[in-house]
Structure 1
Amino acid sequence: MPCSSCLLLLLLLLLSFPGGFPLESQEDDDLPLLMPQLPAGTPAWSVPGCPANCTCPVDETVDCGGLDLHVFPSNLSKSIQHLSLQNNRLYELPYNELSRLAHLRTLNLHNNHITSEVTPAACPEDGRIYSSVSCFKGLPDEAFESLQALQYIYLANNQLSEAPQFLPSTLRIVDMAANCLTRIYQLTFGHKPGLRSVYLHNNQLSNVGLPFDAFNGSDAISTLILSSNLLTYMPQNLPLAIVRLHLQNNRISRIPKGALSKQWRLRELYLQNNNLTNEGLDLSTFSKLKSLEYLDLSNNNLTEVPSGLPPNIVILHLGRNRLSTLPPERLSRARGLQYLLLQSNTLTASGVHPDAFARLRSLHTLHLYNNQLESVPPGLPRRVRSLMLLHNKITNIGPDDFAATYALAELNLSYNRLYSARIHRLAFRKLRRLENIDISGNQLTLLPAGLPPSLQILNLQKNQLNSLSPELLANLTMLKELHLAHNRLRISSISPGTWQELQGLKLLDLSYNELSYIPPDLPESLEYLYLQYNRITVVTAEAFLTVPNICVITLRSNRLLAANVSAEAFTDLKRLEVVDTTGNPEPISIPLPQTSRWVQPQAGT
């Protein structure tokens, strides 16, 4: 292909999809990579014979996209290679016009009103006229018969109910997504040795409409997108070279035996949002998929982890199923697993076998949130770095629950049933790499003891904290964010020297507490201070004396009167950008540096 042709083809494709291609309609190794280079000063419409209002940057390319066309352009040059008609109102493709374009390589008809061919018996009763004929023909079966150079055809977002019975054997990409397709024929996609990508998502295809030999002779297909259709079981006789297979959002309840026995190149398999059960899977359904890296089985009806998982799988998504147990043998083969997502099942701690994760030496992300865990499950992966246990029923943390997870960097225990007395003082002693811990939404009255010095983010909002002492924050010199909103803190319950250890703190959230004035002796490193929805009645001149680097202060919805807010409190805060005093009993306005922004209520608010 000449360089100018490659360049122009990409331009047409990009014009077809505002903001870029839809995620499922991208093929990284099939699309041209360059843009057209035109002589300086050449108008895009300067090529002789260009149809009215269309753009023809070179003589082999015609772009008539977005012109509200109702009729296929006539008298197109026989030599054109790239024709773009996307975003119009075309209802039919006239065979006599299309058959002349024997050199056409790209045909873009995305987002029109093209339907499948209508026979005379099915003509509209009102006798409407379409393109000088008395019956609307839509897309004739022979429409593409003469286009023996065609490589890229885009028919997405039309009204096709049946796929064309014949497409040229030269095709590389076919996009028929977002139509009303109920039927595919043998030669629609079959016997096309160069075909790489087929996009059929968002149609109405059932297994009856997808013949067994639909892809025979098209052994190079690597991307097949059949998501959001009406399939009830996985299609058989799939292309051997397939790499990406998307079948999510169907009604699939079973995968026939041997359906995936020869697809050893398959890397991505999407089966989420179907009706799969363990009875609908064979013992060796996935065992032959030696290249499989991503398997999504979420939102199905599985009660057990499928057997025969391939060893090279990297991401396994089993969330939103009905799993109640994790036996040791089901996950043991997947030794390359790095991400295991088990959220929104019915797992209990007693249902997780101590050896369930024993051989998963590469696993670093484990999601167990929104289950029925009453305690931390045993035998957690030793190298796990991100552990999500939120929204369970965990009531206590023992001294050895995290003793083996030395690599843990992120731990989320929020929205469980934890009390301060039930978190052992040595629970976190081994977590020397922990950076982020979230224990919000529990019943804590005190900060947990023994938090590791490596901690950078501590989230304790929506608890019942009623006191802060320096001992429990000691050695947290790397802490950058401390979230304490929605608790019961008062000034009298914050011991002197509480903040002195927090030498790196940047953000302190004390909103929705019971503070009556600004806490004293805040750390010098502080940049963001949130104090909204407290009971603060006064801001003294010394209120922010220890935080010269503060950028944002929120004092919204307190009990401040203008007379009780000292303007001197903000005078030396050179980096201050935002002060929010809205929602107080009366408007408050204090002059600030020109670079700052004072957020205040309007008079009468």
Structure 2
Amino acid sequence: MTVKLYPRLLVFLLANTLGTQNVRHIYDEMDWSLYTFECPQECFCPPNFPNALYCDNKGLKEIPTIPARISYLYLQNNLIETISDISFVNATQIKWINLNKNKITNNGIEKGVLSSLKKLLYLFLEDNELEEVPAPLPSSLEQLQLARNKISTIPEGVFNNLENLTMLDLQHNKLLDSALQSDTFQGLNSLMQLNIAKNSLTKMPLSLPSNTVQLFLDNNSIEVIPENYFNEIPKLTFLRLNNNKLSDEGLPPMVFNVSSILDLQLSHNQLTTIPFITAHLEHLHLDHNRIKSVNCSQMCPTSISEDHGYFGTMPRLRYLRLDGNEIQPPIPMDLMICFRLLKAVVI
């Protein structure tokens, strides 16, 4: 559907508002392209959001030609199999593309079509048929979401030019340890969130970007964390390793001795003892392991008898989950003496 504000009507409105004087001058000076909004007939162009194009849930099999004014493009929940250059020949302002829940394959992505979108910031390709990370990608990209595909391969150097990328989501794919080489994440200097949950990893990924703040590795088969592993990612704050195969033998004694970590999740593993934690940790999830008892003298990161003072080294743990283990209540009193800021204990 094409929506137009006709020139004669606008002149009539101007004449009634301003009088006839200078109306011809205004008419000649106006840029009529601003009042003509081409809209693909398969899509919806909201009048109050002229930079957005909604083509979602339309049963589309291909991407229509995108008008030049569009910055935000919604194409999710269709039957699209290909991404062709012809669709984006005029779309030089695109910042956001949502192509979730389609049928896109790597062969269906025309080479260079994504990298030609020089202003693209957000690319959503979740729930498609991709078998590898698409390449090449535009260097402007800030978020890349590829969850729930069939990705087993990450092409060499695919991330090298993505210095602006802050979020990479690869969860629920088919990644093996062999897919993550020591240089796989090279170039991701701004990356803050990395999600590789629900894959087939047995080892911790190598050489993660040093700026990583959130690392999600749930639902893999990881058995061992190398000693000093987290020293290379000094800003790590949130770490999720739920539903893996971690045992006491797979954890070096001081592996979590990292002051930056505030939220540590180790639920549904094979631990029999509580690992060492720092006084900075605020949330600890250890439910559904094989822990039989709580040894407060070992668990407490500082001396229980020490007077920390208001701004001292008092442990900051506020939430502790221990249910699903073999621990019998009541909660040891020493636990509460050590962690004086605890607000919730699940046991």
Fold shared by both chains (TM-score > 0.5): yes
For 1:465, the aligned partner's letter is I
Q: For the structure 1 residues 379 and 252, does the alpha-carbon distance in structure 2 shift closer, same or farther, using more than 3 Å as the test?
A: same
State the superposition RMSD in angstroms. Answer: 2.6
Give unmatched runs, 5+ long, in structure 1.
1-162, 172-190, 511-605
For 1:418, the aligned partner's letter is L
Aligned to 1:497: 334
Aligned to 1:7: none
Aligned to 2:287: 461
Are 1:483 and 2:321 matched, yes or no? yes
Aligned to 2:191: 363
Per residue, is there more helix in 1 or in 2? 2
Does the 8 Å CA contact 2:3/2:38 hold for their aligned counterparts?
A: no
Cα shift at 1:228: 0.7
Q: For the structure 1 residues 194 and 282, does the alpha-carbon distance in structure 2 shift closer, same or farther, using more than 3 Å as the test?
A: same
Aligned to 2:272: 445
Does the 8 Å CA contact 1:261/1:285 hold for their aligned counterparts?
A: no
Rg comparison, structure with higher value: 1
Deviations 1:289-325 (CA, angstroms, capped at 9, x unpaired): 1211110011111111111211121111000111113
Aligned to 2:343: 506
Cα shift at 1:267: 0.7
Aligned to 1:375: 203
**Tell me, what secondary structure is at the counterpart of 1:286?**
coil
Structure scoring higher RCO (CA < 8 A, sep ≥ 6) equals 2
2:128 and 2:256 map into 1 onto residues whose CA distance is 36
Aligned to 1:225: 54
Cα shift at 1:499: 3.8
Q: 2:35 aligns with which of 186, 191, 194?
A: 194
2:3 and 2:192 map into 1 onto residues whose CA distance is 47
Equivalent residue runs for 1:47-446 within 5 Å: 167-170=3-6, 193-195=34-36, 205=42, 222-236=51-65, 238-429=66-257, 431-446=258-273
Deviations 1:516-538 (CA, angstroms, capped at 9, x unpaired): xxxxxxxxxxxxxxxxxxxxxxx
Aligned to 1:174: none
For 1:506, the aligned partner's letter is K
Cα shift at 1:257: 3.1
1:453 and 1:196 map into 2 onto residues whose CA distance is 59
1:192 and 1:425 map into 2 onto residues whose CA distance is 67
Cα shift at 1:491: 5.1
Does the 8 Å CA contact 1:454/1:478 hold for their aligned counterparts?
A: yes
Structure 1 segments of 4+ aligned residues over 6 angstroms from their partners: none
Equivalent residue runs for 1:521-560 within 5 Å: none
1:257 and 1:408 map into 2 onto residues whose CA distance is 39
For 1:497, the aligned partner's letter is D
2:286 and 2:6 map into 1 onto residues whose CA distance is 62
Q: For the structure 1 residues 310 and 489, does the alpha-carbon distance in structure 2 shift closer, same or farther, using more than 3 Å as the test?
A: same
Q: How many equivalent residue pairs?
A: 308
2:332 and 2:316 map into 1 onto residues whose CA distance is 21
2:149 and 2:187 map into 1 onto residues whose CA distance is 23
Does the 8 Å CA contact 1:481/1:506 hold for their aligned counterparts?
A: yes
2:36 and 2:230 map into 1 onto residues whose CA distance is 52
For 1:478, the aligned partner's letter is R
Deviations 1:534-589 (CA, angstroms, capped at 9, x unpaired): xxxxxxxxxxxxxxxxxxxxxxxxxxxxxxxxxxxxxxxxxxxxxxxxxxxxxxxx
Q: For the structure 1 residues 167 and 456, does the alpha-carbon distance in structure 2 shift closer, same or farther, using more than 3 Å as the test?
A: closer
2:319 and 2:250 map into 1 onto residues whose CA distance is 25
Q: For the structure 1 residues 227 and 452, does the alpha-carbon distance in structure 2 shift closer, same or farther, using more than 3 Å as the test?
A: same
**Tell me, what secondary structure is at the counterpart of 1:414?**
coil
Cα shift at 1:454: 1.3
TM-score (norm 1): 0.48
Cα shift at 1:167: 4.8
TM-score (norm 2): 0.82
Aligned to 2:29: none
1:468 and 1:424 map into 2 onto residues whose CA distance is 19
1:448 and 1:346 map into 2 onto residues whose CA distance is 30
The percentage of aligned residue pairs carrying the same residue is 28
Does the 8 Å CA contact 2:160/2:187 hold for their aligned counterparts?
A: yes
For 1:303, the aligned partner's letter is E
Cα shift at 1:256: 1.9
